[in-house]
Amino acid sequence: MRSRCDVPKRLAMVALLLMPAFLNPQILPAVDQSRSRSDQSRESVWPAPTKLLEQLKQLQGTPAEPWANATRELLESISTVSVDQPMSVPDFQTVRERIAQLQLQSKRATQVVASLQSSQQLQGTPNYSLASAKLINQLYQIRYCIDRRISVWSTLLEIGARPAAVSPQSPFSLTNHSRIRFRAMNSQWRDYLLLDDVKREFNSLDPDSDRQKKAARRTLGRIYSPVLKPEQKEFLQQAFDPQLISFLRETASDPIDIGQLLQRMEQHEQFPTGATEFRLNDLYQDLAWSEDPRDQKAAQAILLHYRNANVRLSVSGELLNRLVPDMPATRERVSDRVLGAAVSGQSYISNRLEVQLIPDPNQVQLRLQTVGTVRSNTVARRDGFAIQNMGLARFQVFKRLAFGRDGVDSSELPVAYSTADQQVVGMRSKLDGVPLFGRLARKIASQKIQDEAPKTQKLVRDKVEREASERMQEQVEAQLQQMRASLYDNVLQPLLAMELEPEPVQMSTTEDELVMRYRLAGRDQMAASSARPAAVEGSLCNCQVHESVLNNAIMRLGLNGNEFTAAELQAHFQQLLGTQPSDAVAESEDPPEARFEFAPLDPIRVRLDDQKLTVELNLASMQIGDGRKWRRISVKTSYVPRVQNGTVVLDQSTDGIRLKGKRLRFRDQVALRTVFEVLFQSEYQVTVLPEQFQQRVGNDLSITQLVLADGWLGVSIDDAESAPARNMEAQRATQQPSRMGQSAKWAKDAARRSRR
């Protein structure tokens, strides 16, 4: 008979066996675990920026070593300060002074860069230039890492100075339905806002605070969604009781422990995984939904540096004009009355459309310009006379278009200008056969035509301008309608279906190019947190995409914790990359039936760095046929891109497929590789330039930059004849990443000042 004392022992053994599974970050459940064990066991001191300190150590033995040592000492001195709330006055003053010193130290990096650039120009040796460019690149990266911490730390310092507070309980009750106004709110709005889910959670007989917080956040995220139109936002503001909004915001946020937030930031900096993103985002939303201005300021700092735009596109005015469709010449029948005369004949209209960029720092602003001619051959009949005219009218029509955060503004009507010239080339009358009277009648008619010429030309100009304006307005509205429908069907609807809200971060225009930066992420996801590679100046088109776009999309594909066969998984993987296996790859034999159960977090993780695209699969379990089931399998492979005839070819690296798992024997490795070698083809082809784009612009374009670094993919496109010069510029641009959301010219400015 089993004794009672054995029961605790057996429970302890079960707990020890299950503990590794709960501690493994790859199989953490995808639920709100806002307070992890590692957070609870942390020390109450300012966490050390481990990754940043490692980056500074890499500068040992370089000309930047003195600067790096001084910076490291400052960072280490901050890491000794207590972050208990409220912070003591000495600790608060110490951190504030150290942050001010760190700002000065960050600015001194410009002097180091200027010195390196001057030495590089004087030396001129290839090896020295390469080493110096690499060092400059490191300084760019390190300075941005410092600056983003300064930005966030400064706002968190203000939060740390206030007393720790308990979230107040609002007297508002969601069960009181009379307090909720749904003015003309139909079932579609209720479904979109998930109102029934909110009521169910708050009216539950077994309420759960985590589920209530999640429901409140989802509804608030949709109320304040960036994809809503202005009229929709206004409708929601009027439809909801302000007390309800405050109640939801209180439920969606908890008081912040800044020590915990600082630690999660550093964990995400050092190990950017789905688990660290999830934990950091949880605290970000606590700040974002808080009604305290200090919390909202800190949320904005995190938004700027850890949820920044992850897609950037710049298009030159030259490329826009190449993409403008040709306007075919048209022939129209003329039937009109001018000053009492019946005019009939034909007109020939030819024009061309051009695009001019209007500088604007807050939106993309264009001026469409149509320049054309109207040649007419008409006959005017009046009072027994038939007068044949040849006319030539030249016209210009301008229309302004603005693309902003709230959509396209095309309300401004076109403005037209024209000149007209009418020449009489023939005249007939009923009196032509009558001597003397016929000549006299012609003379009187000619004099009358000459007297009425200014009025006639004005009428012609007015008609030409009116018809040209109407024609442009119709064509522009038709093109805009087609563009809206295409964007909604092919871009917006799929993104919204995956709850990836495209939010414009920057839309601007210069004299030479338009720039658009977007954040593709759900409210519960992070985005770009590193400096993107600098675009090649003067290129026709530049595009930078952060790996968070792919990883955020993967999290919405329904892989988390689900099972798939090998064929289903391959289809998912190809859909993710938007590729098909290369024709050069021989088709492999079908492997034995395999089933994959993905981990709840990071089922597939993509990394862009060191000129490689690395894909990692994390499996909770895997089974081939009826054989053994392997647990906690990690599969990783890398691809190296190369440009081939306008396409990008991804070649699998020489490392091949790397496997990690629990108790994998040699024969297990062989069996698993058989499956994964079919799943991961050795080569993929990615079409950068769509076929319709090439047909419109021509096949004389070339990829002049292809860089994968620090989480970013950077691509530049230019004319093939300028490719050699652009490639040199691309190599220099690759070494100098841009500041996120800011200009990357600080080093150039420093170098210019040093030469004065």
Strand, coil or helix: 536? coil
Contacts of 116 (CB under 8 A, 6+ apart): 63, 64, 132, 135, 136, 139
Give, for 2, the enclosing helix (H) or strand (E). none
pLDDT at 36: 43
User: Mean of the pLDDT values across residues 707-716?
Assistant: 93
Mean pLDDT of 6-20: 40
Q: What is the mean pLDDT of residues 186-192?
A: 85
Going by pLDDT thresholds of 50, 70 and 90, the confidence category of residue 253 is very high
Q: Burial code of 433-458, b = ≥16 C-beta within 10 A, e = fewer?
A: eeeeeeeebbeebeeebeeeeeebbe
SS3 track for 500-523: CEEEEEEEEECCCEEEEEEEEECC
Q: How many CB atoms lie within 10 A of CB 318?
A: 15
The per-residue pLDDT for 166 is: 54
SS3 611: coil
Q: Higher confidence at residue 525 or residue 237?
A: 525
Q: Which phi-psi region, left, alpha or beta, contains residue 740 (left: φ > 0; alpha: ψ -120 to 50)?
A: beta
Q: Which pLDDT score is estimated for 50? A: 93
Residue 179 vs residue 480, higher pLDDT: 480
C-beta of residue 729 within 8 angstroms of C-beta of residue 536: yes
DSSP per-residue string spanning 289-327: T---HHHHHHHHHHHHHHSB--EEEEEEHHHHHHHSPP-
Distance CA 299, CA 523 (A): 12
Higher-confidence residue: 568 or 655? 655
Q: What is the mean pLDDT of residues 149-166?
A: 85
Q: How far apart are CA 140 and CA 150, in angstroms?
A: 15
Q: Decide: 115 and 747 in contact? Cβ < 8 Å.
A: no
Tokens of 328: 């075919």
Residue type, 680: F
Give percent of the chain above pLDDT 70: 78
Please report the pLDDT score of residue 199 as a whole number. Answer: 85
Q: What are phi and psi of 537, to 5 degrees?
A: -65, 140
**Which pLDDT does position 165 carry in this prediction?**
59
> What pLDDT, on the 0 to 100 scale, is given for residue 2?
45
pLDDT computed for residue 184 by the predictor? 55
As given in the structure block, the two tokens for residue 250 are 């209180």
For residue 86, whether the previous peptide bond is cis, meaning omega lies within 30 degrees of 0, is yes
Q: Which of 252, 240, 264, 113 is nearest to 182 (CA)?
A: 240
Residue 182 CB coordination number (10 Å): 14
- For the stretch 127-147, pLDDT in tens is 445 567 788 888 888 999 999
Locus of tokens 């690499």: 134
Averaged pLDDT, 681-709: 80
Q: What confidence tens digit (pLDDT) does each residue in 375-394 have?
A: 888 887 777 677 778 888 88
Longest dimension (CA), the chain: 144
Query: What's the token pair of residue 260?
Result: 């915990």
Under a CB-based contact definition with an 8 Å cutoff, are residues 309 and 517 in contact?
A: yes
Phi–psi pair at 399, nearest 5 degrees: -140, 135
What domains are defined for the chain?
A: 50-160 (no CATH), 178-308 (no CATH), 316-490 (no CATH), 532-736 (3.15.10)
Per-residue pLDDT at 635: 92
Q: How far apart are CA 540 and CA 320, in angstroms?
A: 9
- Residue 40 clears pLDDT 50, i.e. is over it: no
The residues facing 316 across adjacent strands are 513
pLDDT band at 627 (very low <50, low <70, confident <90, very high): confident
Where is pLDDT greater, at 346 or 448? 346
Best CA proximity match to 658, nearest among 680, 677, 635, 638:
635
For residues 266-278, give the mean pLDDT.
92
Identify the weakest region by mean pLDDT among 122-126, 422-426, 467-471, 570-574: 122-126
pLDDT one-digit tens code per residue, 391-403:
888 888 999 989 8
> In this structure, what DSSP letter does residue 164 have?
P
pLDDT value at position 445?
67
For the segment 257-265, the average pLDDT, to the nearest whole number, is 94
Place 451 in a pLDDT band, splitting at 50, 70 and 90. low
User: Looking at residues 568-597, what average pLDDT do you find?
Assistant: 61
- Segment holding 114, helix H or strand E: helix 89-123
Q: What is the DSSP letter of 737?
A: B
| Beta strand spans in 173-266 (E) | none
CB distance 449 to 425 below 8 Å: no
* The predicted structure's pLDDT at residue 668: 83
CA 456 to chain centre: 55
Candidates 576, 569, 574, 529; CA nearest to 555 is: 576
Q: What is the mean pLDDT of residues 435-448?
A: 67
Q: CB–CB of 387/448 below 8 Å?
A: no
Q: Which pLDDT does position 289 carry in this prediction?
A: 96
Predicted confidence (pLDDT) at residue 508 exceeds the cutoff of 60: yes
Radius of gyration (C-alpha) of the chain in whole angstroms? 34
The average confidence (pLDDT) of the chain is 80
Least confident of 51-65, 479-493, 585-599, 699-713: 585-599
Mean per-residue pLDDT, 439-468: 74
pLDDT score recorded for residue 482: 80
CB of 63 closer than 8 Å to CB of 115: yes
pLDDT of residue 526: 95
Would you say residue 174 has pLDDT above 50?
yes
Q: What is the number of other CB atoms lying within 10 angstroms of the CB of residue 202? A: 18
Apex 137 CA angle, 78 and 66, nearest 5: 45
Which residue in 371, 385, 454, 455 sits closest to 418, CA to CA? 371
CA distances from 672 to 585, 589, 626, 629, 660 (A): 20, 15, 14, 11, 11
Alpha carbons 311 and 340: distance in angstroms, whole number: 61
Residues 6+ apart with CB under 8 A from 170: 243, 246, 247, 250
Task: Give residue 219's pLDDT.
Answer: 93
Task: Give pLDDT tens digits for 630-680.
Answer: 889 999 999 999 988 778 999 999 888 999 887 788 888 888 888 888 878
- Quickly state the pLDDT bin for 460 (edges 50, 70, 90): confident
Do the beta carbons of residue 611 and residue 709 sit within 8 Å? yes
Asked if 370 contacts 349 with a C-beta cutoff of 8 angstroms, the reply is no
Burial of 667: CB neighbours in 10 Å, binned 0-12, 13-18, 19+: exposed
> Do the beta carbons of residue 298 and residue 287 sit within 8 Å?
yes
Distances (CA, A) of 499 to 226, 276, 551, 557, 750: 12, 20, 13, 11, 43
Say if residue 237 is exposed, middle or buried (CB neighbours under 10 Å; 0-12, 13-18, 19+): exposed
Per-residue pLDDT band at 524 (split at 50, 70, 90): very high
List the beta bridge partners of residue 124: none
- Please calculate the CA angle 696-698-703 and round it to the nearest 5 degrees: 115
93 CB contacts (<8 Å, ≥6 apart)?
none
Instruction: Specify the higher pLDDT residue, 497 or 574.
Output: 497
Q: What angle do the packed helices 195-202 and 209-223 form, to 10 degrees?
A: 160
Q: In angstroms, rounded to a whole number, what is the distance separating the alpha carbons of residues 128 and 525?
A: 42
Tokens of 243: 């007390």
CB distance 614 to 607 below 8 Å: yes
Q: What is the mean pLDDT of residues 592-611?
A: 88
3-state SS, residue 607: strand
- Name the pLDDT band for 120 (thresholds 50, 70, 90): low
- Round to whole Å and give the CA distance between 215 and 209: 10
Higher pLDDT, 466 or 298: 298
The pLDDT tens digits of the residues spanning 75-112 come to: 999 988 988 888 888 889 999 999 999 999 999 988 88
Q: What is the DSSP string of 176-238?
A: -GGG---TT--HHHHHHHTHHHHHHHHT-SS--HHHHHHHHHHHHHHHT-TTS-HHHHHHHHH
Which of the two residues, 127 and 619, has the higher pLDDT score?
619
| Nearest of 575, 573, 589 to residue 680 by alpha carbon | 573
